[in-house]
Structure 1
Amino acid sequence: MTLIIAGTVRVPPQNLETFRPHMLAMLSASRAEDGCLEYSYAEDVAEPGLIRVFEAWRDQACLDAHFQTPHMATWRSHWLQFGVSDRRLFAYETATERAL
């Protein structure tokens, strides 16, 4: 089973450039974790400041370990400073995948 995390967060558009190094640090550290299959952020083309989140984890245990990492604590500590809000993430359990 693969665990997919998908959703959005908001960052005021004027804060995106100064927040970008923190996003890159989080991506790099998360992608290096055991069980991380995919970890991505993308700004919505039609809605500046809306960040689309997509993650894939080998299983729940790997995601649970991710939540306990020092880089996750550092990541969350920056949210207030940069105005991160409206976090809407959902977990999906998948049994199979196929190319389209």
Structure 2
Amino acid sequence: MAGTGVSLVIAGTIRVPPENLEAFRPHMRAMLEASRAEDGCLEYAYAQDVAEPGLIRVFEAWRDQAALDAHFATPHLAAWRAAWPEFGVSDRRLIAYEVASQRAV
């Protein structure tokens, strides 16, 4: 996360019934592609938990709060959330972390 100031990392999980994962995958891909193209998006990823089917791990990094606020106002985010009931998406648990610096470990 280059630059000065505070970047934001969003990390957490959502749940999708395992039997709905394949049908939901195109929606996840569309959200990833649109979000990654946004100004201020440094990283945006989903990963299926190896030990727990249907648990999707979310990781996002944003340049700043303004970039995240703009993300929340996008049509693709509205479409993403609108698709959730059809696929049984639940238990959204996302936390924002303010990051002032970073280093390799």
Which TM bucket (shorter chain)?
over 0.9
Q: Which amino acid aligns with 1:53?
A: V
Q: Out of 77, 80, 86, which is 2:85 matched to?
A: 80
The equivalent of 1:55 in structure 2 is 60
CA distance in 2, matches of 1:76, 1:92: 22
Give the root-mean-square deviation of aligned CA atoms.
Answer: 0.4
CA distance in 2, matches of 1:71, 1:88: 20
CA distance in 2, matches of 1:35, 1:99: 22
List alignment gaps of at least 5 residues for structure 2.
1-5
TM-score using structure 1 length: 0.99
The equivalent of 1:96 in structure 2 is 101
Query: Identity over aligned residues, as a percent?
Result: 77
Give structure 1 regions of 4+ aligned residues with deviation exceeding 4 angstroms. none
CA distance in 2, matches of 1:11, 1:88: 13
CA distance in 2, matches of 1:45, 1:2: 29
Q: Does 1:38 align with 2:43?
A: yes
CA distance in 2, matches of 1:93, 1:83: 30
List alignment gaps of at least 5 residues for structure 1.
none
